[in-house]
Amino acid sequence: MTPVLSSTGLVLHNLGLAAGFGGSLFGKLALNPAVRGVGSQEERGRVVNAAWNGFNVINAASVGVAALTWLVGRSRLTGREIDGTTRRLVLAKDLLLGATVALGAANILGGASLAKQAPEGAVPVETGLKPTVRTPEKAARTMQALDVGGVVNLFTLAGVIGVTALLNMRAGSSWRWAGVSRFLP
């Protein structure tokens, strides 16, 4: 019999990671450069800030679900149920997911701060997070921090996804895990 709650938790966990990573990657590689096609630099800023701050709700919920499902699972399992290598992978995922949550929160707060630096978020931008010569210095610094934080967050999310895949592969090939998983809800 398949453990329904555990399976549902794993699906929600993976969907949360996918939504957080996919949306952030889309924004960084597609949305931010695409606003160059908007005529006014202020309008570019307004569009980018509206889009990112709208996505931030989805991103926070998605990564929040991933973190919550991981914490629920971690409250019962440590990785020792399989072996020492798996235990180290679990600890690595703890660190990567913690960094992802912290960076995501910092980026959300930074994005909200940037949007407040001009009426309706219309901070002049060349592209998504590339300032123009007309961008106020404080906004330019915020953009630089958001750009770096966004890239680092993509790497931590990719790390979480990679470690999750490794953990799933190790669990799938472990006779010890097969025994433990029979008792999961």
Structural domain tally of the chain? 1
Contact 64, 20 (CB under 8 A): no
- Listed in sequence order, the residues at least 6 apart from 167 whose beta carbon sits closer than 8 Å to its beta carbon are 79, 86, 89, 90, 93
pTM of the model: 0.87
Residue pair 73/150 in contact (Cβ under 8 Å)? The answer is no
What are the b/e assignments for 15-44, b being 16+ CB within 10 Å? ebbebbbebbeebbeebbebbeebeebbeb
Q: Which pLDDT tens digits describe the chain residue by residue (185 residues)?
A: 456 567 788 899 999 999 999 999 999 999 999 999 999 999 999 999 999 999 999 999 999 999 999 998 888 777 777 788 888 999 999 999 999 999 999 999 999 999 999 999 999 999 999 999 999 999 999 999 999 999 999 999 999 999 999 998 887 665 665 555 555 55
Contact 153, 103 (CB under 8 A): yes
- What residue numbers bound the domain in which 62 lies? 4-181
Q: Which secondary-structure segment (H or E) carries 78?
A: none
